[in-house]
Amino acid sequence: MPLADANQTFSRRNRIKSSLLIHDIVTSGETVFSHPIKCYYRRAPEDAPETSLAVVVPKRRFRHAVDRNRLKRLMREAYRTHKFQDFALQMCWVYVGKEMSSYADVCKAVIHIHDKIKESR
């Protein structure tokens, strides 16, 4: 089995797991929206040179864990293949769509979010 390209990984150090940190990003960060993803982001601190990401799918909209996990997996995969390497950010992606989306739709939204953030910098 071939090894994954080093640029296309989503390692543990790139994941945001702390609910306090996620809350800080959502309350004090900037916002970009591209259906079906709403992105909250802020500049990463100096000690974190890479972009880190938290992925959220609300239980209120998707009652079944299988659906939530699939959407989270799609968003993580889209991030992994279209990395934000231009700048170090802390991001929280919230899925706001009401229905399941395809991988192509999620990728399109991720690329659009990346372009909007790049424009604002």
Domain of 52: which CATH number?
Answer: 3.30.230.10
Q: Is residue 77 part of a domain?
A: yes
Q: Is residue 93 part of a domain?
A: yes
pLDDT of residue 17: 93
| Joined tokens for residue 40 | 């909250």
Determine the structural domain holding residue 17 and report its residue range. 13-120
Q: Is residue 109 part of a domain?
A: yes
Whole-model pTM above 0.85?
yes
Q: Is residue 32 part of a domain?
A: yes
Which residue in 33, 92, 102, 45 sits closest to 71, CA to CA?
102
Q: Is residue 80 part of a domain?
A: yes
Q: Is residue 1 part of a domain?
A: no
Residue 41 binned pLDDT confidence (cut-offs 50, 70, 90): very high
- Mean pLDDT over residues 93-117, rounded? 96
Domain count, the chain: 1
Maximal C-alpha separation, the chain: 43
pLDDT of residue 1: 38
Distance in angstroms (rounded) separating the CA atoms of residues 59 and 4: 32
* Sign of CA pseudo-dihedral 80, 73, 45, 116: positive
Q: Is residue 5 part of a domain?
A: no
Q: Is residue 61 part of a domain?
A: yes
| Contact predicate 29/40, CB 8 Å | yes
